[in-house]
Structure 1
Amino acid sequence: MKKMKIGRASLTWLEGGVTHMDGGAMFGVVPKPLWSKKYPVNERNQIELRTDPILLEIDGKRLLVDTGIGNQKMNEKLKRNFGVYEESKVEECLTELGLTCEDIDFVLMTHLHFDHACGLTKWDGDQLVAAFPNAVVYTNATEWNEMKNPNMRSKNTYWEANWKPVEELVHTFEDSIEILPGLRMIHTSGHSDGHSIIVFEDEENVFIHMADLMPTHAHQNVLWALAYDDFPVTSVHEKQKWMNYGYNRNAWYVFYHDAIYRAMRFDQQGEIVEKIEQDKHIYEE
């Protein structure tokens, strides 16, 4: 497990599973000859996307950023369609760290699409229960409402199995919320109407988790929005805002989906100055 420290925050990436999504959908209107120079693609035009929760340890509290692909949430057809070659090992990773799922204090859900939210619940016999029973689950109010009342398009990604068992644990917010001193969730919309990012500031030490506004390092260009985005123009404006903010603050950008890098830092011109690589990539095996 890759680890790093940013100010008061210790970050550890857990193994939440993997998907393989259509490269064209992940890069929207950007032509393949451009995006394929920045991110590997397989013979089925799919790109590897990790679904790895970030364990944050700050001021004696333990928090998870999103929850991974979970286990036994998909039939074989869905696994094949989404390229799920590896399911979640979050519980095993926590055990390796001397922790249990009961030790998680907060779960920060940037949004509630299945590839982020399947790990919120788990099977206990033939019943689904909360995977992190002692945690307060934070998500944006708009996102939570759509999770529970999906429309004809979003019902394919907002699953009842991922929200009903945790309903009593969920706390929502509108524009932003400070979870701990210096750690904020900020509503952006864009990828989904309730999408949020996570910003941590401890004096000069800053990290930003852009979630699916910038799912991989290859999405750094503010104009490279996903075809999956509900509001792509909003995504572009929000990404420009928070990329400029991070460039000026010497911030680390930390990733949930990136199969190549865990984190990356840029200078004020947007040039890479430091990067933390993944331990392994499935496409290399």
Structure 2
Amino acid sequence: MESLTIGRARLTWLNGGVTHMDGGAMFGVVPKPLWSKKYPVNEKNQIELRTDPILLELDGKNLLIDSGIGNDKLSDKQRRNFGVLEESHIDSSLKQRNLTREDIDMVLMTHLHFDHACGLTMWEDNELVPAFPNATIYTSEVEWNEMKNPNIRSANTYWEINWKPVEQLVHTFQESTEILPGLRMVHTSGHSEGHSIILFEDNEETFIHMADIMPTHAHQNVLWALAYDDYPVTSVHEKQKWMGYGYERQAWYVFYHDAEYRALQFNENGEKMNELGRPAHTYK
């Protein structure tokens, strides 16, 4: 597993599974001859998108950023349509850090689409139970409300099986909330109405998790928004704001979905300074 230390924070990428989504949808109106130069695409026009939670060890607490694709939550048709070639291996990943699911104190949910939220619950004796029973789950109030009351479009991604068993563990916020000193969740909207990013600042060291308004390194261009975005113009403006903020601070940008990079550090001109790559993977 790949790890990165930024100030007081240690980040480790767990194996949360993988999807393969339509490349055109992931890059919206951007022509394929442009985006395919930035990110590999297969013969089905799909791009590989990891669903790897980030274990954040900070100030004696164990946090997860998003929860992975989970296990046995999708039908055969869904696995085929979403290109799920591997499901989560969270237990074995945590074991490598001498941790168990019970050791997770908080789960920071940038949003609650199925590919981020399926790992919140798990099967136990034919019943769905919280996957991290001792964790407080943080998400924006707007996102939580839509999760429980999806509209005709969002019902395809906000599933009751991912929220009902953890309802008592959820803590919501409005504009922003400080989780631990220097660690904030900030509501941006854009990809979904309740979408949030995660910002950590420790003196001169910073990381930003842009979640799905910048799901991969190939989405660095502020104008490259997803067709999946509910509010693409908002995504563009929020990305522009937070890329500028990060460039000034030479921040690390960390990824949940990227199949090539775990994290990239950019200078004040938006040029890559440092990288943490991800090794080639063989699916089980």
- TM-score after normalising by structure 2: 0.99
Shift of 1:281: 4.0
3-state SS of the aligned residue for 1:200? strand
CA distance in 2, matches of 1:265, 1:34: 23
Structure 1 moving runs of 4+ over 4 Å = none
CA deviations on 1:30-49 (whole Å, 9 max, x unpaired) are 00000000000000000000
CA deviations on 1:71-127 (whole Å, 9 max, x unpaired) are 000111100000000000011111222111000000000000000000000000210
CA distance in 1, matches of 2:94, 2:264: 24
Letter in 2 for 1:158: Y
CA contact (8 A) 1:260 1:281 kept: no
3-state SS of the aligned residue for 1:177? strand
- TM-score after normalising by structure 1: 0.98
CA distance in 2, matches of 1:251, 1:271: 11
**Structure 2 partner of 1:33:** 33
**Structure 2 partner of 1:23:** 23
**Structure 1 partner of 2:54:** 54
CA distance in 1, matches of 2:71, 2:136: 21
**Structure 2 partner of 1:276:** 276
**Structure 2 partner of 1:102:** 102
CA distance in 1, matches of 2:231, 2:282: 31
Counting aligned pairs with the same residue, the percent is: 74
Q: Structure 1 residue 111 and structure 2 residue 111: aligned?
A: yes
**Structure 2 partner of 1:216:** 216
3-state SS of the aligned residue for 1:243? helix
CA distance in 2, matches of 1:77, 1:120: 21
CA distance in 1, matches of 2:280, 2:204: 31
Letter in 2 for 1:246: G
CA deviations on 1:27-71 (whole Å, 9 max, x unpaired) are 000000000000000000000000000000000000000000000
3-state SS of the aligned residue for 1:163? helix
CA distance in 2, matches of 1:272, 1:112: 30
Letter in 2 for 1:145: N
CA deviations on 1:170-196 (whole Å, 9 max, x unpaired) are 000000000000000000000000000
CA distance in 2, matches of 1:36, 1:169: 41
CA distance in 1, matches of 2:135, 2:39: 35
**Structure 1 partner of 2:10:** 10
CA distance in 2, matches of 1:16, 1:124: 19
CA distance in 1, matches of 2:239, 2:211: 11
Q: Structure 1 residue 129 and structure 2 residue 129: aligned?
A: yes
The within-5 A match list for 1:1-285 is 1-281=1-281
CA distance in 1, matches of 2:169, 2:224: 35
Shift of 1:280: 2.1
Which stretch has the larger CA shift, 266-275 or 4-13? 266-275
CA distance in 1, matches of 2:35, 2:125: 44
CA deviations on 1:205-251 (whole Å, 9 max, x unpaired) are 10000000100000000000000000000000000000000000010
